[in-house]
Amino acid sequence: MGAGHLPDGLGARIERYRYGIVGPLFGVHLALDEAPDYRAAAFDPDAARAFMSVLGLDRPEQILDLHARLSAGDLPSKIWMNSATPTVHDPSQAPPGKHTAFVWQKVPYALRHGGGPAWDRLKAQHLEAVLARWREYAPNLTDAAIVNRFAFAPYDTERHLPNMAGGDLNVGWFDAAQIGSGRPLPELSGYRTPVERLYLCGACTHPGGNITGLPGYNAAGTIAADLGVRWWQPPDPRARWAALV
């Protein structure tokens, strides 16, 4: 909308809003003839039905390495990632007997050599590197078992959803200055903006990223209050609790 339409200094403060260097994700998505068969299930059968599995994160030093290397635009020295197989819990997401699965790896948005656009050149190669690492934990993910595959790099995320600048899934770093009543800025934390009838919602507002729906819920309540309307009747939690007894 242009800083000229904002109160003095607000545009400059918005420009200083920080995005997370460990927020971007590289995703590998698979359509499969069979679900990943994790070797860990031989030890604990529940591993086959986990909602989310962490693969390759073995020690705290890997977290420190992640921050250092992503800040420098380098990939982590060792691939570790989160995995999920949605069709284990919701078979309707694939044809009968088939499955979908994905992994997320934290990577830099801007690579040391080439920045964000370099992902267009490296994406296919890195997909295979992540898949090779995934097979160490689920050896049945062979080429014959994979019906289709594709990767989604942080640069793709930003192009698809421009508000996720730098591919930051939380749409803003979580530090002491950018949480609670400071998100995204103290003067914008109530979902209202200085422009009449222009409101904020989404992960850049309280309580931030992740799929909670709360930023939109809170913004809708603020808008309804300004319009003087009652947009819905929240359930009485005491009645809900009583019904559980």
Span 230-245, pLDDT tens digits: 888 888 889 989 988 7
pLDDT at 235: 84
Give mean pLDDT, residues 53-72: 94
Residue 208 Rama label (left phi>0; alpha psi -120 to 50; beta): left
Residues 243 and 129 in one domain: no
Of the two residues 2 and 178, the one the predictor is more confident about is 178
Give mean pLDDT, residues 60-81: 94
Residues 67 and 156 in one domain: yes
Residues 205 and 237 in one domain: yes
Quote the tokens at residue 75.
């990939």
**Last residue of a domain, which of 129, 160, 191?**
160
Domain range for 124: 25-160
Q: What is the pTM of this model?
A: 0.85
Residue 212 has pLDDT above 90, yes or no: no
CATH number of the domain within which 54 lies: 3.30.519
Of the two residues 210 and 189, the one the predictor is more confident about is 189
pLDDT at 146: 98
Residues 91 and 32 in one domain: yes
119-175 tens-digit pLDDT: 999 999 999 999 999 999 999 999 999 999 999 999 999 999 998 999 998 999 999
DSSP secondary structure of the chain: --GGGS-TTHHHHHHT----SS--EEEEEEEESS----GGGGT-GGGGG-S-EEES--STHHHHHHHHHHHTT---SS--EEEE-GGGT-GGGSSTT-EEEEEEEE--SSBTTTBGGGHHHHHHHHHHHHHHHHHTT-TT--TTTEEEEEEE-HHHHHHH-TTSGGG-TTSS--SGGGSGGGSS-GGGTTSB-SSTT-B--STTSTT-SSS--HHHHHHHHHHHHHHT--------HHHHHHHH-
Number of domains the chain contains? 2
pLDDT at 91: 96
Residue 40 has pLDDT above 80, yes or no: yes
